[in-house]
Structure 1
Amino acid sequence: MTAPADAREALALVTDDFAELPFAGEPSGGDGPLGWTGYDRARAAAATRSGEAESVVCGTGAVGGVRTVLVSFEFGFLGGSIGEETGARVAAAHAHAREHRLPVTVLLATGGSRMQEGMRALLQLQRLAGESARTRAAGLPQLAVLRDPTTGGGWATLGAGSDVVLALPGAQVGFAGSRVRPADADPAAYTAGSQLAHGHVDAVVRPEELRAVLGRWLGLLTRPAEGPVPPPYALGGTAPSASGREAVARARRPERPRADRYLAEVFTERAELSGDRAGGTDPGMRCGFGRLPDGRTAAYAAQCGTATRPAGFRTAARLVRLAGRLGVPVLTLIDTPGAANDAEAERAGAGPAIAELFGAVAEARVPVTSLLIGEGGSGGALALAAPGNTWATPDAYFSVIAPELATGILKRPPEEADDLADRLRPSPEDLVALGAVRGVVGARPDGAGA
């Protein structure tokens, strides 16, 4: 299936019952606020070619059974550029969404602000950002689908400012349009694939899959669970560890259940966020929203057993803040030997990223439940832990520092690591006695897992 070329084709790709919203505003006449010679004729010609009165079509439609406000850009109308009337139409659509408690979905294809209206057009970016902020404050989800091209202020407001950003394959995506980039700029940097790789897009979705993917996201973001998520049952061994060194060894076993197994047991379906919106991704941190067996939604942030990179901490913080705005409870799964400590991690802001996650969890507006499922290595693990509501599986440990690193700090020989593991008291039973976790979870009573 080819990517949709115009606004109506894009709408037909995701919904079968689009109903256009009436627009009460009056289109500006003449050659616009700058008196740009020929602007009136250019608009008339654009309307004839595209069949649209402006560069955007706004209405409502059901996607995956969820009613949403839909804002679809018409690139055939002056390159989908944003002028005063574009801003007025999008503002009216957001107002309708807030009045009727509907999510907003934007199908973008734009070259940016409309040159013929000068600063009056550029100021619409502030207007769009303000509308998005008010919709965000109302607790309503905002999703964007990036078509080809999505550049300029449209990308920097309605696109990148959305809660979930999807893109079509091959779409040109970037703040700088193709005619204003440096002559030696790498064209690959201005693509949907590049934006995904650098943490600015959540997924690249083929046109034939877009309706299902968008419907899944809308369903998950509009049906929050009530109250905290119960800690999952243990999927591994349930016998207590005899010592600190045994607890560390059990948590490090390759066959121990990892985050993906726990997520598969907890949720019937999931949709994942990708990237920290600051240029990075971390495959060792899974973040997203999932459907619980009762049909309601919880969010999750799960470490996958690797050293967590700054982008992972920032992505988790993004997840916790978004869940808080939407009223969705959060489950975190802790499993890391610690924060990445290489030079690249320091240059990427390991300390600030960890601080950001500590703050997001501390300020969370929704219940957060945490389960330690493996290694709990120092602050890099604690940043994901819910104060007062962290649990542990029997095959896990939590420690102020890894035993091997402790030998170096204390100037002990490496062979004393096991002895230090015992003295650090990192086992689940020790953690309960120390007040670091609420309890140790057991297996499901029927023996079927979590």
Structure 2
Amino acid sequence: MGESARELIGSLCSGFSEFPAPPSSSTVDGPIGWPGYDDARERAGKRTGEEESVLCGVGKVGDVEATLIAFEFGFLGGSLGRRTGDRLEAAFTRARESGTPVVSLIATGGSRMQEGMAALTQLQRIAAAAAATRAAGIPLISVLRNPTTGGGWATLGAGADVTLALPGAQVGFAGSRVRPEGDASAYTAESQFASGQVDAVIGRETLDVQLARWLILLTSADGQPAEPPSSLGAQALPETGWDAVQAARAPGRPHAEAYLDAYFDWREDISGDRCGGVDEGVKCGFGLRGGVTVAYAAQCGTATLPSGFRTAARLVRLADRLGIPVLTLVDTPGAANDAAAERSGVGTSISEVFAAVASASVPVTTLVIGEGGSGGALAFAAPGRTWVTPDSYFSVTSPEAAAAILKRPAGDIPATANQLRLRPQDLIELGIARAIV
């Protein structure tokens, strides 16, 4: 039967204290009178030693106390019934009362057939309990075990702030017995990660360490603005606008990964836009710097895809809800503008980032570390809290695009760059940036 819920909890946390089961109404063979349901529950209890398909309590994962929800798949396939809903609702209520983050260790086949619609409607209760907990500023982490399907995936799994998955786990809304024949690889943890639905696929042997790291990151903010990183590249200011463009496009210039590694003691990435896309040219996540958490959304020098903008917006909204300050790094020639990007909603996705930054109650700090091309770069920038490096530029559009718009010959591109006043020192004079780091 594999690792039980109690064995899993015992390996991940210390001092676990199980919550008492909430009272629930008892009816013969359940709410719809399914013949033999009581006998099936009794057999499941004897086989697993549990009274229900979920185990809830509180314990310390690393140094952080957390509310833990662990599914026992051996109990009727980890299915969700009314008593499961009672326990989950009570666990979320306790988490709000104690202010502890919630970790859901999911292994479920979905709603319990023997309870009919009474089981399916538990998804509404779970969604409401999770929403109230999110609104209270409490982080939610889910771990997708094998299998995670049906309503368990569509509520606790996909609805978490950070979603981790174990390798090879079956993950999907449709379970193996009800989905159409075809590409089974789409229903795996690895496939869900590749399509932007999961933040990371991690080995079981490192799950305790990874959970401890994530709990530290999501609970260690102090609300103070992030300081802009120091420049890692050239220190001399460019003489002309075209010099600035050339410096920002230099092959050896430091990019986002170098800045993030130098800035943070350690960090963890989130991945994906939860709409089917991943942009490898945008790095988002949370890092620890001097014991304090800062969220980051960093462009890596490529044209930013719609999925990259949506992931950044997701990061800023999450950080804002958890009270974590944000650092953004601007480095893009601009938003992707091909036909695929338009069909994927590049304009809408850019608007999401503008709105997330504009409405954030936490401070957002921006450093332009390379190219700052048009609105695709500006969406990542914080009004009034933007700094620039000496080897960067920020422009209404690229000099090449500006020349094309103005119907100028290619030979006029350097002169156009000079006229755009896009150098770091120009940005200070124009009031676009605070200072050159």
TM-score, L = length of structure 2: 0.98
* Distance in 2 separating the partners of 1:24 and 1:378: 56
The answer on 1:344 being equivalent to 2:340 is yes
SS in 1 for 2:404: helix
Q: Is the 8 A contact 2:22 2:90 kept in 1?
A: no
Quick one: which of 266, 280, 283 aligns to 1:283? 280
Q: Which residue of 1 aligns with 2:216?
A: 219
Q: Is the 8 A contact 2:105 2:143 kept in 1?
A: yes
Compute the RMSD of aligned alpha carbons.
1.1
AA matched with 2:33: G
The answer on 1:114 being equivalent to 2:112 is yes
* Distance in 1 separating the partners of 2:310 and 2:112: 34
Q: 1:415 offset after TM fit, Å? A: 1.6
Q: 1:193 offset after TM fit, Å? A: 0.2
Q: Is the 8 A contact 1:4 1:10 kept in 2?
A: no
SS in 2 for 1:88: helix
The answer on 1:100 being equivalent to 2:98 is yes
* Distance in 2 separating the partners of 1:12 and 1:284: 39
The answer on 1:210 being equivalent to 2:207 is yes
1:37-436 aligned within 5 A: 37-183=35-181, 185-293=182-290, 295-436=291-432
Q: 1:422 offset after TM fit, Å? A: 0.4
AA matched with 2:171: V
Q: 1:13 offset after TM fit, Å? A: 3.0
Q: 1:10 offset after TM fit, Å? A: 2.0
Q: 1:258 offset after TM fit, Å? A: 0.9
* Distance in 1 separating the partners of 2:2 and 2:129: 26
* Distance in 2 separating the partners of 1:200 and 1:38: 38
SS in 2 for 1:58: strand
Q: Is the 8 A contact 2:68 2:103 kept in 1?
A: yes
Q: Which residue of 2 aligns with 1:446?
A: none
Q: 1:4 offset after TM fit, Å? A: 5.3
SS in 1 for 2:77: helix
* Distance in 1 separating the partners of 2:205 and 2:169: 15
For residues 300-323 of structure 1, the C-alpha deviation after alignment (integer angstroms, 9 at most, x for no partner) is 001110111011000000000000
Q: Is the 8 A contact 1:276 1:311 kept in 2?
A: yes
AA matched with 1:125: L
> Where does structure 2 lack aligned partners over 5 or more consecutive residues?
none
SS in 1 for 2:164: strand
Q: 1:63 offset after TM fit, Å? A: 0.8
- Using the aligned pairs only, state the percent identity: 61
TM-score, L = length of structure 1: 0.96
For residues 341-391 of structure 1, the C-alpha deviation after alignment (integer angstroms, 9 at most, x for no partner) is 111111111111001110000001200000000000000000000011111
SS in 2 for 1:107: strand
Q: Is the 8 A contact 1:370 1:386 kept in 2?
A: yes
SS in 1 for 2:154: helix
AA matched with 2:137: G
* Distance in 2 separating the partners of 1:313 and 1:148: 31
Q: Is the 8 A contact 2:306 2:350 kept in 1?
A: yes
> Where does structure 1 lack aligned partners over 5 or more consecutive residues?
442-450
Matched pairs, number: 437
